[in-house]
Amino acid sequence: SKMTVKAVKMPCTSANVYTKVPDGGWGWTVAFAFFVVEALTYGIIKSFGVFFNDLMESFDETNSRISWIISICVFVQTFTAPLSTVLSNRFGHRLVVMAGGLLVSTGMVIASFARGVVDMYITIGIVSGLGYCLSFLPTVTILSQYFEKRRSLVTAVASTGECFAVFSFAPAITALKEQIGWRYSMLCVGVLQLGITACGSLLRPIVIREQEEVKAQPPEESTETKYMLENEQTCTSIESIDSGVDITTSPSNVPGKTKAEPKSEEPKQHGQNPVDNNSTPPEPKTKLLDFSVMRDYSFICYAFFGLFATLGFFAPSLYIIPLSRSLGIGKDHSAYILSAMAIAEVFGRIFAGWVLNKKPIRKIYIELICVVLLAVALVAFPFASGFWGLMICSVYFGFMLGTVAGTHIPLLAEDDVVGIERMSSAAGVYVFIQSLAGLAGPPLAGVLVDTTKNYSSAFYSCAAGMVLGALFLALVRPCKTGLCHRHQQQQQQVEESTAGPPPELPDDFIDMDIGKAENSGKGSDSV
């Protein structure tokens, strides 16, 4: 049966109601909105390195104190992820993303008038950080709901928005600073980020509602057999008033209410749900945030993977320009290195989405291979020398970063982790756990740089975190299918052994009841 839309004409504020996951339709508009949101959130965060030296000179601060700006921003963005999930479930994704866009723009605009690094902590770190959380997470969540078969590929391609942003913003902001200074350049960036609000207005809610079709009734003989089996299982005599079945075996004499039962059960579907698949969906809708995912061992391992892998996501983008400047590379060429990294990340995201879209394939293992290769890329940076050495390392790092950064959150929807039903709550908890690494990552790298007077130490710390993340990622699949399931099977076997076998029913139970009913009928006739 083809996918159909219930409401053909509906205003832009209405929900899209489908009978199955559309894998397209309005989802393409949502994918475009996610592309722009990625560009104006993570794209700006990764391009913030172009302001690094200007802030150090203007505020006369060290690397570590300037690093706290992005560190606090990333921490607030990830720490408030459960709040984003709760607000999205309560007020809808559209309003939350539009409010987040206003916060992002407001924080960046006010930061352009900052007189000290503490002002940056408040404006970009707290205000914009909260806006980034309210903008990004609801967008990627609703995009995953619009796609099923193409989810990996569409999400990966749409997430390339941040890569194109870094590729274009880094040289553009660098050139703009030469003309109007870093303050007015930051003001222009804040005004540009108002586009997040426009993208939020495009996020129509989606409702998957199965077609309400009355299933074809089985043959009458099987209907009668159903009642006879129910009678046998409940050990109820056929002459009892609870059986609901006449003694006769003629199909024409089966009570008419067997056909009318679907009609009589319709009011139950509005009031209390019958015991079938319709009884479970209302539960997750009533929960604004489901912390039951914390009892899933596979999710816990995956969350620790995200915690340590986050150490390698942001610091290289922040320190690639200072590293190139320390090697005697000019400003323009340093910006080209960051742009090349962004271009390579585009191809990495598309490649990862294409590979993960293949079936059959175990996506969690592909992710593990990419994480290991990403750790190798981080180790390679300290051995680079000159412009072309850094360019090669940046391209390799950007490609591998794209394969991981564009897929680690959408992989929560896979059955190996939590599944699409619990992805909304799992994404909030997952990003919340990442907040500690987002807070500690850049300042830790900054402290190492200030202590060792060498930017290589920052990349070594990122590589160490990535290796730890790979170890936890390798445990996700075994926890999901091996260790946990064996433990559950052992518990079930113990329970079955203690409960004992079910009582056996006599084979002639129905015959005995029929004979008893016939004897009672003859007795009444004789009377």
pLDDT of residue 253: 43
Does residue 60 carry a pLDDT above 80?
yes
Mean pLDDT of all residues belonging to the chain: 74
Inform me whether the pLDDT recorded for 314 exceeds 70. no
Q: Is the dihedral of CA 488, 494, 495, 497 positive or negative?
A: positive
| Percent above pLDDT 70 for the chain | 71
Asked if domains 15-211 and 289-495 share a fold, the reply is yes
Answer whether residue 303 shows pLDDT above 60: yes
Averaged pLDDT, 445-456: 80
pLDDT, mean of residues 26-52 = 88
Q: How far apart are CA 258 and CA 274, in angstroms?
A: 16
User: 249-258, 385-394, 439-448: which has the highest mean pLDDT?
Assistant: 385-394
For residue 97, the model assigns a pLDDT of 93
pLDDT in tens, 106-129: 999 999 999 889 999 999 999 999
Q: Is the pLDDT of residue 488 over 80?
A: no
In the chain, where are the structural domains located? 15-211, 289-495
What is the Cα Rg of the chain in Å?
30
Q: Which superfamily does CATH assign the domain made up of 289-495 to?
A: MFS general substrate transporter like domains (1.20.1250.20)
Can you identify the CATH homologous superfamily of domain 15-211? MFS general substrate transporter like domains (1.20.1250.20)
Residues 135 and 150: their CA atoms lie apart, in Å, by: 23
Give yes or no for residue 7 having a pLDDT over 50: no
* CA distance linking residue 234 with residue 251, whole number of Å: 22
Task: Considering only residues 491 and 237, tell me which one the structure prediction assigns the higher pLDDT.
Answer: 491
Between 92 and 519, name the one with better pLDDT: 92
Closest CA to 254 of 266, 243, 264: 243
In the chain, pLDDT over 90 holds for what percent of residues?
Answer: 14
How confident is the model at residue 386, as a pLDDT?
A: 83
Nearest by Cα to 302 from 390, 363, 381: 363
> Do 408 and 401 meet the contact criterion of CB atoms below 8 Å apart?
no
Question: Is the CB of residue 128 less than 8 Å from the CB of residue 104?
Answer: yes
User: What pLDDT score was predicted for residue 184?
Assistant: 92
> Is 372:473 a contact under the CB 8 Å cutoff?
no
pLDDT at 131 over 60: yes
pTM: 0.61
Between 145 and 314, where is the model more confident? Answer: 145
Residue type, 30: V
Give the pLDDT of residue 284.
Answer: 44
Q: 385 pLDDT band (50/70/90 cuts)?
A: confident
pLDDT reading at 525 higher than 60:
no
> Under 8 Å CB-to-CB from 384, ≥6 apart: which residues?
390, 392, 393
The pLDDT tens digits for 188-236 are 999 999 999 999 998 888 877 765 544 445 555 554 544 454 444 444 4
Q: Is the pLDDT of residue 64 over 90?
A: no
